[in-house]
């Protein structure tokens, strides 16, 4: 195997700084002595099937330059030398709306990153979990098997519903949440809360903070974001960020269907996305509008034989 190795050693005013980064040009009057040793292509001794060779520096070049030479060079060619170590990282402040699955995943990315990132996630509700916190209607669950519906960096061994029939290759659908591969909303919520706790992601999240406005300031090159604390519409403050992330998801803004006369209905009205468990369905005749996945989950779950 061929390889090339270059070592640079700079001696600046008696301090040895190895490598090619990390020295500053303000040592203008100091002498910089550069020692460059170049190891040219040779054969590796790692692989016994290679014809073996020995690593020998072919040439040792020593140069003496003044650091001001660099500045003069840069001046002549129209470049400006930035007076900071190369590979310095620019700090980015990131503001994220929401603390659901997407924001939790992103917060973990930020935590793992070696970039200089400062993240805050503003969540309107008093809990993390997003749609899995807000959707709690009877029978609510995910239509993706739990083994797939989880964060790849935090797989859970705790799912109570992992069973996939060996005969029927697709998962068995049953209303018994202990024996279907689709977990319930409450179990998924517990999973996300657990992940946030286990990974210490709460430090990025501010609960009961609703983002109510955002605009880009071209001069500052920053987002100016308005945030309401709690329920008081007058308690609004401003925050700024380089990057603004909309992690609100698509299931967030529920609305009543446009059915003429709907608002004239005298009895209680429930929406799957905003279920009110204080309304007792026992002994009542219930009409369900819609036959999508929520209705498919709700109808068997509110049968008279079920208690919920």
Which parts of this chain interact with ligand NAG (CB under 6 A)?
Answer: 68, 71-72, 75, 124-125, 133-134, 163, 178-179, 246, 248-250
Q: How far apart are the first and last CA of the chain?
A: 68
Q: Smallest distance from the beta carbon of 181 to ligand NAG, in angstroms? A: 10
- Rounded least distance, CB 74 to ligand NAG, Å: 7
3-state secondary structure of 169: coil
- DSSP labels, 178-239: GGSSSPBHHHHHHHHHHHHHHTTGGGGEESSEEEEEEEEETTTTEEEEEEEETT-TT-EEEE
Token couple for 70: 């660099």
Q: Which is nearer to ligand NAG, 201 or 211 (CB)?
A: 211
Least Å from the CB of residue 186 to ligand NAG:
12
Looking at the Cβ atoms of 233 and 304, the one nearer to ligand NAG is: 233
Distance CA 52, CA 45 (A): 6
Closer residue to ligand NAG (CB): 134 or 187? 134
- With contact defined as beta carbons under 8 Å apart, do 95 and 246 qualify? no
- Smallest distance, ligand NAG to C-beta of residue 142, A: 17
Q: State the helix-helix crossing angle for 185-198 and 101-112, rounded to 10 degrees.
A: 20
Q: Kindly give, in sequence order, each residue whose CB lies less than 8 Å from that of residue 31, ignoring residues fewer than 6 positions away.
A: 13, 64, 66, 67
For tokens 């977990």, the residue is 183
As measured in angstroms, the least distance from the Cβ of 112 to ligand NAG is 25
- Residue (42 or 181) nearer to ligand NAG, CB: 181
Judged by beta carbon, residue 39 or residue 174, the one nearer ligand NAG is 174
Distance CA 153, CA 156 (A): 10
| 3-state SS track over 134-157 | HCCCCCCECCCCCCCCCCCCCCCC
At 141, is the secondary structure helix, strand, or coil?
strand
Q: How far is the CB of 40 from ligand NAG (least distance, A)?
A: 34
Which of 42/122 has CB closer to ligand NAG? 122
Smaller CB separation from ligand NAG, 58 or 81: 81
Query: CA-CA distances (angstroms) from residue 261 to 104, 254, 273, 287?
Result: 41, 19, 21, 15
Least separation in angstroms between residue 45's CB and ligand NAG is 47
In the structure encoding, which two tokens stand for residue 123, read together?
A: 């969540």
Q: Which is nearer to ligand NAG, 83 or 112 (CB)?
A: 83
The H or E element that residue 65 is part of is: strand 59-66
């Amino acid at each position: 195997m061929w390889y090339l190795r270059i070592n640079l050693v700079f001696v600046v005013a008696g301090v040895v700084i190895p490598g090619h980064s990390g020295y500053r040009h303000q040592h203008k009057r100091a002498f910089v002595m550069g020692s460059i040793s170049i190891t040219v292509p040779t054969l590796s001794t790692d692989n016994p099937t290679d014809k073996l060779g020995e690593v020998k520096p072919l040439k040792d070049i020593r140069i003496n330059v003044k650091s001001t030479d660099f500045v003069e060079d840069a001046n002549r060619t129209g470049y400006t030398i930035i007076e900071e170590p190369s590979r310095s990282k620019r700090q980015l402040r990131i503001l994220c709306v929401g603390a659901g699955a997407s924001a939790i995943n992103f917060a973990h990315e930020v935590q793992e990153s070696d970039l200089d990132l400062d993240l805050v996630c503003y969540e309107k509700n008093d809990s993390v979990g997003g749609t899995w916190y807000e959707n709690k209607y009877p029978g609510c669950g995910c239509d993706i098997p739990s083994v797939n519906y989880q964060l790849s960096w935090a797989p859970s061994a705790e799912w109570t519903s992992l069973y996939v029939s060996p005969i029927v290759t697709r998962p068995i659908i049953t209303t018994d949440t202990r024996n279907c591969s689709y977990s319930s909303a409450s179990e998924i919520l517990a999973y996300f809360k657990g992940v946030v706790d286990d990974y210490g992601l709460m430090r990025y999240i501010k609960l009961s903070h609703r983002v109510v406005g955002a605009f880009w300031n071209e001069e500052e090159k920053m987002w100016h974001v308005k945030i309401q604390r709690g329920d008081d519409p007058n308690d609004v403050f401003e925050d700024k960020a380089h990057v603004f992330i909309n992690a609100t998801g698509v299931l967030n803004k529920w609305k009543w269907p446009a059915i003429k006369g709907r608002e004239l209905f005298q009895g209680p009205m429930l929406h799957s996305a905003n279920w009110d468990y204080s309304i007792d369905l026992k002994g009542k005749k219930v009409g369900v509008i819609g036959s999508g996945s929520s209705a498919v989950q709700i109808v068997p779950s509110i049968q008279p034989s079920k208690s919920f």
